[in-house]
Chains A and B, each alone.
Chain A
């Protein structure tokens, strides 16, 4: 099944539950009407949280730049010695 179909099915199921809640009035009507809003806001907050957490934990590797410089020097030496032009770039 296409991914979008799965998502649509999920939303239809959630909508069906929401409508049935409206009809049976298990929860008070005023709350039920606001449920979709709560859902969207929660989703937004979750998304922002994930972005924030991910940003704080973003893996960095400053030492790699140093290692790379060393590799470049080693490579240039070898290549020059073997006739490959690694002149100023």
Chain B
């Protein structure tokens, strides 16, 4: 392998004081010999997340744990853009901070990218080898319905449109993110559909997703409306 690769892992956080420490430990546990930096974009968490990050910097080094905070909640898309500005790697990984994305899949992402030369490797929960835990039947139904609808309308070329556990070539992420305007999980859909339309090489790896936010209604009526609006937007603009 002639080229030296560095992976910048961007993790937007808000009130993830415990989870961020767990994630950092697990990242270094599963890819100990890979050149990485973890860029934590914290939106002014009141629970002391940033203090924990500083403690992590003592353990792992402030060249590998970067705290790039913002004053308050400013949205996911801009969090990635903010993190990107400070990324020194040639690859960027985005993942959630609540431990639903397990760092043990990072070697799978890296290996898939190296084998296939893909521009983007996206984690999918919906294929054999992947899976979800902690979802009610209703949640699975809406997820499946949303997926079928999106596939019928958009022909996206990936099985998991709303997933946010992805590895990008840095130049590719920079290219796509500058043109995205949506927020939340529609933003994730927009990113991958844009990439697909632009002809980028996208590969998938199965991932498991343990939803630890039990009981919180993450999928209400307004979420469904937002999703449908996002679909229509993507349908007419891509």
Give the number of A-B contacts (CB < 8 Å): 96
Which residues of B from 6 to 57 have beta carbons under 8 Å from A?
Answer: 17-18, 21-22, 25-26, 29, 51-52, 55-56
> Inside 8 A of B148's CB, which chain A residues have their CB?
47, 50-51, 54
> Inside 8 A of A55's CB, which chain B residues have their CB?
140-141, 144
Q: Does B78 contact A (CB under 8 A)?
A: no
> Inside 8 A of A82's CB, which chain B residues have their CB?
59
Distance from A6 Cβ to chain B, minimum over Cβ atoms (Å): 9
Could you jot down 20 A-B contacts, CB within 8 Å? A51-B144, A55-B140, A58-B132, A58-B140, A59-B127, A59-B128, A60-B132, A64-B133, A71-B26, A72-B99, A75-B22, A75-B25, A76-B22, A79-B25, A83-B55, A83-B58, A84-B21, A84-B52, A84-B55, A86-B21
Which residues of B from 90 to 109 have beta carbons under 8 Å from A?
Answer: 99, 102, 104
Q: Does A4 contact B (CB under 8 A)?
A: yes
Residues on B facing A (Cβ under 8 Å): 17-18, 21-22, 25-26, 29, 51-52, 55-56, 58-59, 99, 102, 104, 125-134, 140-141, 144-145, 147-149, 152, 154-155, 197, 208-210, 235-238
Q: Does A33 contact B (CB under 8 A)?
A: no
Which residues of A from 29 to 65 have beta carbons under 8 Å from B?
Answer: 47, 50-51, 54-55, 58-62, 64-65
Instruction: List 16 other contacts, CB 8 Å, given A65-B134, A72-B99, A85-B55.
Output: A3-B155, A47-B148, A59-B126, A59-B130, A59-B132, A64-B133, A68-B99, A68-B102, A68-B210, A71-B22, A71-B26, A74-B25, A75-B21, A79-B25, A79-B59, A82-B59
> Inside 8 A of A68's CB, which chain B residues have their CB?
99, 102, 210
